[in-house]
Structure 1
Amino acid sequence: MHTRKFRTALMLCAATALAAAIPVPASASASAPATTESRSPARVVAVDCFSNAQVRPGDFLLACGDGNNRLIDIHWSHWGQTSAVGRALDAVNDCDPYCAAGKFHTYPVIVRLDRPETWKTDPGLRQFTRMQLVYTDGRPAYTERVVTHELWD
């Protein structure tokens, strides 16, 4: 009889110790204080030619080497965790007769950024890695109506 009581007491102690060791989620515990802290997702940015992280940039250099192509006057209608959409003017040098003597022409475009990935320079940020331009009224010579650029990191 003593063995049975001892075994029962031992099992109760083990069960109590096990229950104390298992963490209870705050939502399941009436005595746990409510928490207002929530994990916010990493901020998503566009990284420019100079490795600057930008949110909703007003302009964006596309031709880093010579500066002959830039998005200007960008107005973003959406900037989210997976994509961004805006309208801009694509300012392109015609390089006629050569780039230093060429003239810039602007073309209205819809800009779409997507494919965010963790930015290697700052893992606390995510960067858009692809840009799509859709020309809505005219476009530079030898340019498709829809152009996709892989963005740098």
Structure 2
Amino acid sequence: MRRNIFRTCVTTAVTAVIALVGIAGLGDAGAAPAPVPAASVVGGCDGTKLVRPQTLSSIYCGDAGVLVTQITWLAWTDTFAVGYGTEHRKLCIPNCAAGKVATYPVGIWLFAPKKRAFTQVSLYSSVTTPPETYQFTGFVR
């Protein structure tokens, strides 16, 4: 139940942002330009270029302390990408090797592209608290 409410909230918020970005970019009325394929990617832990991956494992390549699976992308552009999925986070209690893994729904915002690769990700695990933002540790060959 909580997962469905969260996904509905994330989808509504993302739709509103995309609508605002689209409205702001209309300018003169006329024919819409042809869509251009998005060129921005996520760098994988092995250097691969990932577009709309179903799993983000390059948040912490060294120990996979945080990863997101079962991702549904709502938007993917050259400047940002947004979606939702399931976060898996090591709890490290009593230590990271023996600790359990927490799993819960999460909203995803990729941004700050450099050389056509997203460099940062914000994870929204609640609609009432600020997101956690990470720098990707993966790379692009």
The normalised TM-score by structure 1 is 0.59
Residues 75-108 of structure 1: CA deviation (Å, up to 9, x unaligned): 1011112110000111011122222221111121
Q: Which runs of 5+ in 2 are unaligned?
A: 1-33
The CA distance in 2 between the partners of 1:41 and 1:105, in whole Å, is 35
Give the aligned partner of residue 146 of structure 1: 131
The equivalent position to 2:47 in structure 1, one of 44, 51, 54, is 51
- Say yes or no: does 1:60 pair with 2:56: yes
Residues 63-82 of structure 1: CA deviation (Å, up to 9, x unaligned): 21112221111110111121
The 1:91/1:42 distance shift into structure 2, 3 A limit, reads closer
* Code of the aligned partner of 2:96: C
The 1:97/1:137 distance shift into structure 2, 3 A limit, reads farther
Contact 1:107 1:137 in 2 (8 A): no
The CA distance in 1 between the partners of 2:97 and 2:83, in whole Å, is 30
The normalised TM-score by structure 2 is 0.64
Give the share of equivalent positions with the same residue, in percent. Answer: 34
Structure number with higher relative contact order (C-alpha < 8 Å, ≥ 6 residues apart):
2
Contact 2:60 2:136 in 1 (8 A): no
The alpha-carbon deviation at position 48 of structure 1 amounts to 1.8
Alignment length (residue pairs): 103
Contact 1:108 1:137 in 2 (8 A): no
Q: Which has the larger radius of gyration?
A: 1
* SS at 2:114 equivalent: strand
* SS at 1:43 equivalent: coil
1:3-152 residue pairs with structure 2 within 5 A?
43-61=39-57, 62-118=59-115, 126-136=116-126, 145-152=130-137
Q: Which runs of 5+ in 1 are unaligned?
A: 1-37, 119-125, 139-143
